[in-house]
Structure 1
Amino acid sequence: MIVGIDLGTTHSLIGTYGEQGPVLFPNALGGYLTPSVVSVDDAGHVIVGQAARDRMVSHPAASVATFKRWMGTPRETRLGPHVFRPEELSALILRALIADAEAASGEKVTEAVISVPAYFSDAQRKATRAAGELAGIRVERLINEPTAAALAYGLQEKHDGSRFLVFDLGGGTFDVSVLEMFEGVVEVHASAGDNFLGGEDFLDVLEMTVCSERQIDQAKLSPQERGQLRRRLEVAKRQLGNGGAASVEWQYGEQAVAWDIDEERFARLSEPLVHRLRAPLERAMRDANLQPTQLDEIVLVGGASRMPLVARLVSRMFGRLPLRHVNPDEAIALGACIASGLKARDARLDEIILTDVCPYTLGIEVSRRDEAGGHQQGFFAPIIHRNSTVPVSRAETFQPVQDHQTQLELNVYQGENPMVERNIKLGSLSIVLPARRTAIENAVEVRFTYDVNGVLQVEATVQATGARHELVLEQNPGVLDPAEIRARLAALDAIKIHPRDKQENLAVLARAERLYEEYVSARQQLQQWIMQFRSVLDSQDESQIREHRRLFGEAMDLLEKSL
């Protein structure tokens, strides 16, 4: 079975294209949203999802979230006895999602289409594929999140020449893409975004403000205190999303902290972040060479797009109300499911061709001649400009700096800055030049070819001899190579992960431990409940466990409402 996966910063979802169209699979707790959180218990066993999210409060040092932002980097996270890279943490989420899909469908998952932010770099895309491999599935296709959202809205069924802007604000990343439908082709004209802007940043604004106004030193907050505060603020942020006001009550040491905020004030506090949202919108429209009146629809997706300030920004910029009738949390996953149907060549889907664009400019380092006749190094010479439709192949001719030069170092970069020091180096290629009297006789043609799978091929041809040198940039600094993937796959297989059929029990206990951490007044009652539930678990009587778990959950629901 081929599945579609939305591997999100805060939540992840999985589904496929079934008989009735795109369908999402529930997790062990019966919901579609699986928190993208990993935790490790005292025995060194891995916990994923809602139970891990609750442990962010009770066991913050043994839990981690928002690691999607670290994809494509060599950053490592220690959780108990284990050390994980971002790819491995993502692989653990993927494994949980795959187990859910197989439990719900009774079929084995062999391949996946995974959505990624449109503005993900080469390294981040390759890290996502590596995560799929570590999870034991094949990932031949990545789909940009805005493109997936367009499929979920059925924009591919609109009339030819229709143009759409997809605004995707998730928990940790922001993407905007301009697409056009023409003769069965969904073509991406331009993509822009910010990989470090999302709902978590708006939560940071609330945290900074409440600490400032209640004279609390953020730097001195314990991980438990900060986890509790952010959880309360997340609830408040959702309340503000429905308009009106929200109250936050929080226990800080011996001090009971109360704080109120309304949506209007939240919007004022968030103005710097709203300004950051405007820049990619303007860049995408400028790159697509379109005016707002030339757009047929504007679509909002991503959980953070529920904030009223987002709808107001888009309405002001484009002079119309955006579409939001598909659940913003599920739109990308549903689109990935449709893409999985396309990948499987499902007969019920009309043939749709999805084009993509290169999200960053690709080029090489060159020297420039200054007014004094000397050469200054470190300049960036673009070969493939950002938002070029892929696959794309472009060539430029360069010549060595000096006469009689016999060696040329070709350094390949990705980025938008005129100086290479502020761009990302992807690799280098050494070229041997024949002995020639003048530099112009030793010209070298450099061809860049970039395909839909994010693979960049660099070819350098010495024009004097026809000698050809090639560099295929399938790997990037900070990305696992095949040998490392095999080694880490073996290591992951050796880690004990709590089975799916125990997830409901784990989630109930993790929730109880979180409430115990948060509410001092209810600790005695919670401790009694935890002891009783553990006794029932020891009985191994599934029917008794199921009934007690239900009652335990209902009791905690009432407790939270009363506190």
Structure 2
Amino acid sequence: MPYSIGVDLGTTSIAVALGDEVGVRAAHLSPRVVEPSVAFVDEDGRIVTGQAALDAARNDTARLVLGFKRRLGDPTPIFAGGVGMTPEALLAAQLRDVVAAVTEQRAEAPQRVVVTCPTAWGPYRREQFGRIAELSGVRVDEIVGDAVAAATFFARDRRLAEGAILAVFDLGGRSTDAAVVRLGADGPEVLGTPEGLEHLGGDDFDDAIRGILDQRLGGRISALDPADPADSASLVAVAEACTAAKEILSVRDETVVSLDLDGSEQRVPLTRLDIEHSIRPMVKTAVAALLRSISSAGLEPEAIDVVVLAGASSRLPLVAEEVSTIGRPVATTHHPKFTVALGAAERARALAETGRHTDPTPRVPSHETGTAASPVISTTVAPSDPPADARKRVRRRTLLLAGLAVAGIVAVVVGAAALSSRSETPAADTAPASPVASAPPTVVAVPAPPTTAGKQTAATAAFPVLTESVPTTGLAWYVQSNDTAGVWGITPLAAGEAARPNLTLTQTTAGFRAVWAGEAPAQLYAQSTGDAIDLDSIADGDGALVFDVTRNGGQATFFEVAAHCGYPCGGAVDITSTINGLAAGTAQQVIVPTECFTVSGLTPGAVDTPFVAFGTGTLDLTLSDVRWEDRAGNDPSAVRCSPEGG
């Protein structure tokens, strides 16, 4: 299937999204979904990027380069192992590699490529950034500001009307950007002067966590010597643990950080309040930049329809809390890290659909319209082609690249509840968000014809999720929805009940009763508390997700089931018509073939969330048996599904 891509070359990570006739969705560049924004320069001056760079640097960290995007425009070379490189060359190598990776996965090159850059950059840095297209050998059809890309996706996701004014607050790994955007007839238009804070981001939050841990461990972390190989490895592990703790505390109130120091395990309890106390001044500084950007547009905060949060670090509840102090609605998309890339993919998809051919010289964003005249291209140090074996490609057995899904996982140090991505807080004067629009590779299922009902073939392999009213050992159940402050929160099932606004889950003798009570999105899910679940044999054996359900009453406005393999890896299936078609008061069986999930992105051999039910509307269901079984996918009563819904 022809496709186009949007590329967000971030300071700490790279996100790529696909756009085609199905919609837009995240592309998987590595097992961690996004590629780390790093580069490795070997002795011959060849550049390797992403995970391959980290692998190559295990025995030679002096040749690893980080944070080079912030050096763009600095004429001083960046030295790695004695080899001098320009930031443009390193960025060009990243673009070359991610486009090559997607091309290999899709077995064809993208039709259009749209790349993003910080909206707050001035003309000189935008001109320097424009040079990476020529250096990479990639035809870039458009370079667009991050805020314009984020607004493009959000406006499409929410179906906002022309004239709406958005403030985009992008809190990334090493920087924060704020801009005001108006939705015009020709697309988003930047108003006023964007603000950029280049040394305030998620890495600073990680440093705050490391400071807390160091204090509680009596200075044992700060005593480590980076020049000592063993201590250096410990510092790397500490950094990873701090990032993981930040991600866990984005969705949970507390965690325990486990560190191996001097051959002994140190377990340090950490709460969300701990890190909020440390980082609140930084977040307030970032919000002040947002207010300055609004003021530069000649507007008062009251003129902003909604503040859109983007960037992975914006997932911390404190960020939404502080941004909301300006008195305007705050919203996030399903995964803030991908908001910019998804918007770029939407623009690329539109270029492909209209058949528009752009000048091969990239167009660079301006503060006035989002695009400007082509920059002057000059030469610099070009990246060399990496060796054939430099990059380890991720080969997937699914038919399509995995898309963004409903729930997510954040679990590295200790187990964590899933982080959903569909629910946001829309502006008060806009239409409610469409759950379908926010995750386009969702497969649409069609109920089986009534005449095809038959006896299900006996399974030879099965994985139970819920048996009658008893959850499978090793699985924990949760409920998620927005609270009154607009924060997408999690409540675990405890003492037989989990209640959130718009959804209540109750364990009864008849099964798990779930009651959705409004048009705001809410979901329930079962998640592994240990190792990932291997459903490969079930998928290979024409398997299916099978569940017994009683519709006690009500109707779903939207209902889908999903499974996940580490957020945002997963697959989702829209079964709204199937659920609404169930006879009220009678237990019935629903069979969704595994193929429906793998075609939309599930990797069945690494499932961590085997069951998600996401819905809107007023719906009362009882689930009495949920399981994955082989051979069930061929049952005559199984739903029919495809990416196009046919």
Equivalence map 1:214-363=2 (5 Å): 214-216=218-220, 218=222, 221-222=225-226, 223-253=232-262, 256-320=265-329, 322-344=330-352, 346=354
CA deviations 1:345-373 (Å, max 9, x no partner) are 6269xxxxxx99855xxxxxxxxxxxxxx
Secondary structure of the structure 2 residue equivalent to 1:138: coil
Does residue 5 in structure 1 map to residue 7 in structure 2? Answer: yes
- Separation in structure 1 between the aligned mates of residue 51 and residue 365 of structure 2, nearest angstrom: 35
Contact 1:11 1:33 in 2 (8 A): yes
The aligned residue for residue 553 of structure 2 is: none
Question: How far apart in 2 are the matches of 1:453 and 1:196?
Answer: 29
Aligned 1:429-468 pairs, distance under 5 A:
452-453=372-373
Closer, same or farther: CA 159–186 of 1 in aligned 2, 3 Å = same
Q: Deviations over 1:116-158 (max 9, x none)?
A: 1111233332332222222112335321111111111235942
2: distance between equivalents of 1:124 and 1:221?
A: 36
Match of 2:205 in 1: 202
2:24 counterpart residue number:
22
- For this pair of structures, how many residues does the alignment match? 383
CA-based RMSD: 3.4
- The equivalent residue for 1:102 is 103
**CA-to-aligned-CA distance 1:327-351 (integer Å, 9 cap, x gap):** 2121111111122234446269xxx
Separation in 2 of the partners of 1:309 and 1:57? Answer: 35
For residues 111 and 18 of structure 1, the distance between their equivalents in structure 2, rounded to whole angstroms, comes to 10
Task: Provide the C-alpha distance between the structure 2 equivalents of 1:334 and 1:291, rounded to a whole number of angstroms.
Answer: 29
Q: 1:111 Cα shift?
A: 5.8
Determine the C-alpha separation between the residues in 2 that align with 1:328 and 1:494. Answer: 32
Q: 2: CA distance between counterparts of 1:159 and 1:128?
A: 32
Distance in 1 of aligned mates of 2:260 and 2:45: 30
1:95 alignment partner AA: R
**CA distance in 2: counterparts of 1:167 and 1:59, whole angstroms:** 37
Give unmatched runs, 5+ long, in structure 2: 227-231, 357-362, 396-411, 413-604, 607-646
Give the match's secondary structure for 1:137. coil
**1:249-296 deviation digits (Å, cap 9, x = unpaired):** 223345654433211121111123112212211101211222333222
**2-structure distance, mates of 1:312, 1:143:** 29
Instruction: Please name the residue that 1:91 is paired with.
Output: 92
TM-superposition CA deviations, 1:393-427 (whole Å, max 9, x none): xxxxxxxxxxxxxxxxxxxxxxxxxxxxxxxxxxx
Instruction: Assess if the C-alpha contact under 8 Å between 2:39 and 2:64 holds in 1.
Output: yes
CA contact (8 A) 1:77 1:83 kept: yes
TM-score for both structures, normalised by structure 1:
0.60
1:118 aligns with 2:38: no
AA of the residue aligned to 1:134: L
Residue aligning to 1:158: 160
Q: Distance in 2 between matches of 1:177 and 1:218?
A: 37
Cα distance in structure 2, aligned partners of 1:497 and 1:203: 35
- Secondary structure of the residue aligned to 1:142 is strand
Determine the C-alpha separation between the residues in 2 that align with 1:88 and 1:494. Answer: 12
Distance verdict in 2 for CA 1:169–1:104, change over 3 Å: same
- How far 1:36 sits from its partner (Å)? 1.4
Higher mean displacement: 61-70 or 41-50: 41-50
Is the 1:57–1:228 contact (alpha carbons within 8 Å) kept by the matching residues of 2? no
5 Å-filtered alignment, 1:49-64, equals 49-53=50-54, 59-64=60-65
Instruction: Name 1:418's counterpart in structure 2.
Output: none
Structure in which a larger fraction of residues adopt helix? 1
SS at match of 2:384: helix
Which residue is equivalent to 1:363? none
Kindly provide the CA deviation profile for residues 173-225 of structure 1, in whole angstroms up to 9, marking residues without a partner as x.
21112122243442211322212221111112222333344224738531433
SS at match of 1:333: helix
Partner of 1:131: 132
Q: Helix, strand or coil: the match of 1:259?
A: strand
Greater gyration radius: 1
Task: Give the secondary structure class of the aligned counterpart of 1:154.
Answer: helix
Cα 1:72–1:345 shift into 2, 3 Å: farther
Q: Could you tell me whether the CA contact under 8 Å between 1:173 and 1:197 is conserved in 2?
A: yes
* Cα distance change, pair 276–454 in 1 and its aligned pair in 2 (3 A): farther
When residues 342 and 111 of structure 1 are mapped into structure 2, their CA distance, relative to the original with a 3 A threshold, is closer
Tell me, in whole angstroms, the C-alpha distance in 1 between the residues paired with 2:94 and 2:365. Answer: 28
